[in-house]
Amino acid sequence: MHHFHYSGPSLQCEAVDLAAVARLYGTPTYVYSAATIAENFHRLQQSLAGLDVQICYAAKANSNLAVLRHCANLGAGFDLVSGGEIRRVIAAGGDLQASVFAGVGKTEDEIRLALENGVFALHVESEPELARINHVAGKLGVKAPIALRVNPDVDAHTHAKITTGRSDNKFGIPLKQAAGAYEVAAKLKNLTLRGVQMHIGSQLTTVAPFAEAVQKVAPLVADLQANHGITYFSIGGGMGIVYKDALASGAQAWWDAQPAAQRPLTPEAYGETLTPLLAPLGLKVLLEHGRFIVGNAGVLLTRVEHLKRGANKNFLVVDAAMNDLVRPAMYESYHEIVPVQRDSSRRALVADVVGPVCESGDCFAKDRQLQEVGEGELLALMSAGAYGFTMASRYNTRALAAEVLVNGSAFELVRQRETFAQMIAGEKVPAFLQ
């Protein structure tokens, strides 16, 4: 569910006309719905009713300060994977004491930053990392709270580049080695064993892999609770969102029309399956979802430059590009593309929707059917709230896009479009070239 819809011919985010946003702030521009973020957060929170649940929003999905603050106000902690993300949460007024620090390559400086700011726990990916954290904690004169990330070797049946819980992925400690790793950790005097963590991948569309992973790791969790007094089990994130039919999926009628066997995974189905598996443990449960909370809460507005008619196909050239939204080029991902002003009287157009970057891979959609649109008209790429701006680059010396947050009938610029001066501010021509 989300709050993007047509009001007459105009596409709106909540009560804001997206054409008005484009007129004021230009394109390409990301637009986020505060109401959608809040609804997704609360549905996820309520899905495990009866359990002690803490949502640690995965900041890598969308780390704009306004989005982080909104999540913090909703009661979120954060799942963080770099020193930069730690600093962002601090800058946004988020609670590090309800947050976890993950990642396979934490530096000593990053570990120090996390410990100095009272992070709830560090999620440890390897035995060498245990030694590093123990060393840093000893120098600070503190005991570092830790949980080991356990790799359950479960196939999440998702894109190969976003699966994280198989034995051939770089993440975590193999389940068979985890008990031994905890025994090593228990002997390190500057560590406190606080929990167990797992995460098997992103954009999962069925609950079965989640259930399989929980069932595989639960015996270890119970043993560690009995012998080491751990207090929480983090089951990670990864619940998928609707990308195809993304605009229609905002309406209850669309959901009701889907055959039961084909309905997208919902928080309610997720909770119904996992609650009976988690409840007997009697532990705090951490959820580390990102995409589910913000993915359908954002769109990327772009303007048509022109329609290029080729020998065998049409190319609709827009001002957004792969540097703004890399997911189609990187993951072959699908994003629904809709007109900001729809007109049922127009003919259909079949075209590749492409950007201006000098790469054949700069293509948002191939042979996509749209209404006929012309130069200067606006399109919206749906489901762009997660892994859109956070994966953006300045390739081809293109400025980073603007970002806007909508709340009801109000909207505000939460990131200014980057200027050329800002792009080159850290560069210089050395004296020996002058």
Is 238 labelled as part of a ligand binding site? Answer: yes
What is the distance between the alpha carbons of residues 357 and 322, in angstroms, rounded to a whole number? 7
Is 243 labelled as part of a ligand binding site? Answer: no
Instruction: Give 284's strand partners.
Output: 232
Question: Cβ contacts of residue 137 below 8 Å, gap of 6+?
Answer: 111, 115, 143, 144, 190, 191
Q: What are the tokens at 19?
A: 């054409």
Is 305 labelled as part of a ligand binding site? Answer: no
Instruction: Give 301's strand partners.
Output: 29, 380
What does the chain come to in residues? Answer: 434
Is 288 labelled as part of a ligand binding site? Answer: yes
Burial of 343 from C-beta contacts in 10 A (0-12 / 13-18 / 19+): exposed
Instruction: Give 403's strand partners.
Output: 30, 415
Closest C-alpha among 195, 245, 226, 259 to residue 52? 195
Taking residue 335's Cβ as centre, other Cβ atoms within 10 Å add up to: 22
Is 331 labelled as part of a ligand binding site? Answer: yes
Is 327 labelled as part of a ligand binding site? Answer: yes
Closest C-alpha among 286, 163, 270, 283 to residue 225? 283
DSSP string, 357-417: SSSTT-EEEEEEEEE---TT-EEEESS-SSSSGGG---GGGPPPPEEEEEETTEEEEEEPP
DSSP string, 224-236: HHHHH---EEE--
Sign, Cα dihedral of 429, 432, 433, 434: positive
Q: Are strands 314-318 and 298-309 parallel, antiparallel or unpaired?
A: antiparallel
DSSP string, 156-186: --S-GGGB-SSTTSSSSEEHHHHHHHHHHHH
Is 237 labelled as part of a ligand binding site? Answer: no
Provide the annotated active-site residues: 358
Taking the CA of residue 72 as centre, how many other CA atoms within 13 Å lie in the half-sphere pointing to its CB? 21
Closest C-alpha among 194, 86, 119 to residue 149? 194
Closest C-alpha among 112, 107, 202, 198 to residue 161? 202
Q: What are the tokens at 111?
A: 């570990």
Taking residue 260's Cβ as centre, other Cβ atoms within 10 Å add up to: 5
The annotation places the binding site for pyridoxal 5'-phosphate at 238, 288-291, 387
The annotation places the binding site at 238, 288-291, 327, 331, 359, 387
The annotation places the binding site for substrate at 291, 327, 331, 359, 387
